[in-house]
Structure 1
Amino acid sequence: MLSRPLRTTFTLLAAAALTLTSACGGSDRVEASSAGDELAGAKLVVGSKDFTENIVLGKIAVQLLKAHGAEVEDKTNLGGTVPNRKALEAGEIDLYWEYSGTGWIEHLKKTEPIQDSAEQFKATAEADLAQNKIHWIGPTPLNNTYALAIRSEKAEELGVKTVSDVAELAKTKPEEVTICIETEFSTRDDGLPGLSKAYGMKIPKDHVSLLDTGVVYTETDKGQTCNFGEVFTTDGRIAALGLTVLEDDKKFFPIYNAAVTVREDTYAKYPALEKVLQPVIAKLDDATMQKLCAQVDVDGMEPGKVSADWLDKEGFLGSGGEG
């Protein structure tokens, strides 16, 4: 998670990227011209990954761009990282929200993450633009990094507080180290293979269960299928289920600040995208994202309503308040 000084730095960084005019965003439930016409005539296709946070972020982009005059096709919940990136590169979508650590490790094939948030984002954005003509608009203050979590009572019973503790437990009580993860996490360099290598941790294949994102949380909470689960640090279900997040004491996981990735030709055609998106990006910190995700995953609200309500509350619909 980002420290308070780093969160402040990113908020200032995002704010500094704005033009002097404050831009307001919008929602599906308001007229397209209510927040401004900076994107009038633009036709844009918005994708997203298939987990709650990214879907909410995708809906925010859809509603915001519509409110600024764009004609938007909603292709959120398109799939995982690979389908979205391929769709972006192929021109099947114009933009989607990606994460700095994912860009660095997965798309740019770098093996060593940069531990400073601002430097990681800058390096990722510059390299992706130069090599792949993908422009990054951001970053958000939120850092949606991976983590291992365990139900709190079991953490106390086993005496685990860090991932190093889990690695030690794998040697002394291997039967206790069972883990629930997503399929994508099972193959990524910044997932279980890299984590196991970094911590010298050997987990038998029959101790690893591949599950859908939501099921990982519920099964980790039940403690029957697994004691440990792969989680996203901005997920509202962590607090709702009373899970304990273990410290990544060797700092293996990269920084994952969210940003909008857009093809350079689209960015050049619609430069107003920067001004429209940056005021919203500056507001998206860890606490905000945890609340929005919890409204979907805990309270059962639709991602589109959650995003629209938040944009309205923050004054991005052009109906009052300041962007």
Structure 2
Amino acid sequence: MTSARSPRVRLRALRRASLLGIVAASSAALLTGCGLQPATAFVPAVAPGSIEAIDDLPDDAAITVTAKNFTEQLILGKIAVLAAQAAGFEVTDMTNVPGSVAVRQLMLDGGADMTYEYTGTAWLTYLGEAAGIPDKEEQYTAVRDADEANGLVWLEPAPLNNTYAMAVRSEAVAELGDVATLSQIAALPVEQRTFCVEAEFNSRADGFAPMLERYGLELGAADGVPTSNVSILDTGTVYEATDRGRCNFGEVFTTDGRIDSLDLTVLEDDKGFFPAYNVAPVLTDDVLRQYPQLAEVYDEISPSLTDDELRTLNRRVDVEGEEPADVAFDWMVEKGFVTRP
């Protein structure tokens, strides 16, 4: 059954079609230039589980899901697609979009209806605030309230907090006095205060030097962290270098699968320096007014999205070479959100 669309809906459809073409073309160009192939929009077929088909959903009910082009976002995007399909929607899969700004623009311009976004990214990158908020609830509330004016609705955040952290190879924890928190680094001898960091983190206003200062250490000071104690490396190299003992402490992202695969131990940020980057479902207010049941669909999933869960899922893609869509599908079935048809 089809129904006549209003002029506003037709205009939105035309705008979406235009944006889809632009983003698809830019994605293909970027990926080709990097020697990669664009990810397909394929996801396995699903049947309802605890996410059931919405009653009285129109036959032409449709939403567009978007996500960025790195592993965790691809997995989350596929989770969002599968959930909407189980609920009875026709879904346009616009995951694998190059860059945060492009995804944000799709959400603002009506080219997409739903994405998983990080509170810290929205606060610092999109809303232009100078500093992040370490308290997770305060950061979420600030972003949620600020984005209302942009026509975006933030549902409740997941426990997943993909922020910066410092990690140590697990076999060295005892050697370093059972170190478990960032505060304990200051108690170590200077020669043991060795770090591997990426260039961006080393130069950020909310990065390495301010972190050390929060924990009572001065970068470049002989009795703090001498510059000779710091190795500035490519992002991917930091994990391996930390694991191999080139440094005792390496900069990591808290949901990276390499933390588990290399058996690294993440230190507690006990003084709350790093901003909160909790992920949350974000939908346009237009689509939520039309289909308010979507809030219940995505709210059901969020509590299961934890740091540990995403480290495992990210590892399956980055280390074991599985496809994000398959990893997302297996997880959704395991949790009972969907079933195999």
How would you bin the TM-score normalised by the shorter chain?
0.7 to 0.9
- Equivalent position to 1:207, from 231, 246, 270: 231
Q: In the alignment, is residue 151 of structure 1 matched against residue 172 of structure 2? A: no
Matched, 1:195 2:217: no
Q: Which whole-Å CA distance do the structure 2 matches of 1:133 and 1:182 have between them?
A: 36
Query: Could you tell me which residue of structure 2 aligns to residue 179 of structure 1?
Result: 196
How is 1:76-115 mapped onto 2 (pairs within 5 angstroms)? 76-108=95-127, 109=129, 111=131, 113-115=133-135
Partner of 2:281, secondary structure, is strand
- 2:309 matches 1:285: no
**Distance in 1, Cα, partners of 2:292 & 2:196:** 45
Residue equivalent to 1:136: 154
Asked if the contact 2:202/2:232 (under 8 Å) is kept, the reply is no
Residues 115 and 282 in structure 2, CA contact (< 8 A), matched pair in contact too: yes
Q: Structure 1: which amino acid aligns with 2:45?
A: R
Deviation at 1:76, TM superposition (A): 2.2
Q: Distance in 1 between matches of 2:98 and 2:337?
A: 28
**What is the alpha-carbon distance in structure 2 between the residues aligned to residue 59 and residue 29 of structure 1?**
12
Q: Cα gap change, 1:106/1:155 in structure 2, threshold over 3 Å: closer, same or farther?
A: farther
Q: Residue 107 of structure 2 contacts residue 284 of structure 2 at CA under 8 Å; is this kept in 1? A: yes
Q: Structure 1-normalised TM-score?
A: 0.72
SS at match of 2:327: helix
Offset at 1:112? Answer: 5.2
Deviation, 1:282, is 2.8
Q: Give, as a single letter, the amino acid of the residue that structure 1 aligns with 2:133.
A: P
In structure 2, what residue type is equivalent to 1:211?
T
Q: How large is the RMSD of aligned CA atoms in angstroms?
A: 3.5
Maintained 8 Å contact 1:181/1:229: no
Preserved contact between residue 35 and residue 318 of structure 1 (Cα < 8 Å)? no
Q: Which has the higher contact order (CA 8 A, sep 6+)?
A: 1
Residue identity in the other structure for 2:233: S
Distance 2:204 2:81 in 1: 29
Query: SS in structure 2 opposite 1:282?
Result: helix
Q: Aligned letter for 2:299?
A: Q
Task: Kindly indicate whether the alpha-carbon contact (under 8 Å) linking 1:105 and 1:190 is maintained by their aligned counterparts in 2.
Answer: no
Q: 1:190 to 1:268 in 2, by over 3 A?
A: farther
Say whether 1:243 aligns with 2:264.
yes
> 1:179, CA displacement in angstroms?
1.9
What per-residue deviation string (whole Å, max 9, x for no partner) do you get for residues 263-287 of structure 1?
3333333323212211112322333
Q: Structure 2: how far apart are the matches of 1:84 and 1:216? A: 28
1:106-125 to 2 correspondence within 5 Å? 106-108=125-127, 109=129, 111=131, 113-115=133-135, 117-125=136-144
CA distance in 2, matches of 1:93, 1:78: 11
**How far apart, CA to CA, are the structure 1 residues paired with 2:205 and 2:86?**
39
Instruction: Tell me the CA shift for residue 190 of structure 1.
Output: 4.6
- Is the contact made by 1:44 and 1:94 (CA closer than 8 Å) also made in structure 2? yes
Larger radius of gyration: 2
**Aligned length in residues:** 286
Instruction: Give the 3 Å change call, closer, same or farther, for CA 201–308 of structure 1 in structure 2.
Output: farther
**Candidates 205, 218, 223, aligned match of 2:240:** 218
Q: State whether residues 134 and 274 of structure 2, in contact with CA within 8 Å, keep that contact through their aligned partners in structure 1.
A: no
Deviations 1:31-52 (A, max 9, x none): 6999415475244332223433
Q: Contact between 1:39 and 1:270, CA under 8 Å: does it hold in 2?
A: no
Within a 5 Å distance, the mapping from 1:277-316 to structure 2 comes to 277-316=298-337
In the TM superposition, what are the counterparts of 1:15-34 in structure 2 within 5 Å? 28-30=44-46
Is contact 2:44-2:326 (8 Å) kept?
no
TM-score (normalizing by structure 2): 0.69
What are the Cα deviations for residues 270-317 of structure 1, in whole angstroms up to 9, with x where unaligned?
A: 323212211112322333333323332343322111110111122222
Percent identity for Structure 1 against Structure 2: 41
* Structure-2 change in CA distance of 1:192 and 1:290 (3 Å): same
Q: Give the distance between the partners of 1:198 and 1:51, measured in 2 at CA.
A: 31
1: CA distance between counterparts of 2:152 and 2:75? 22
Q: 1:190 to 1:277 in 2, by over 3 A?
A: farther
Shift, 1:151, TM fit: 1.9
Following superposition, the deviation at residue 165 of structure 1 comes to 5.1
1:210 and 1:298, CA in 2 relative to 1: closer, same or farther beyond 3 A?
Answer: closer
Residue 167 of structure 1 contacts residue 201 of structure 1 at CA under 8 Å; is this kept in 2? no
Alpha-carbon separation, structure 1, partners of 2:48 and 2:131: 43
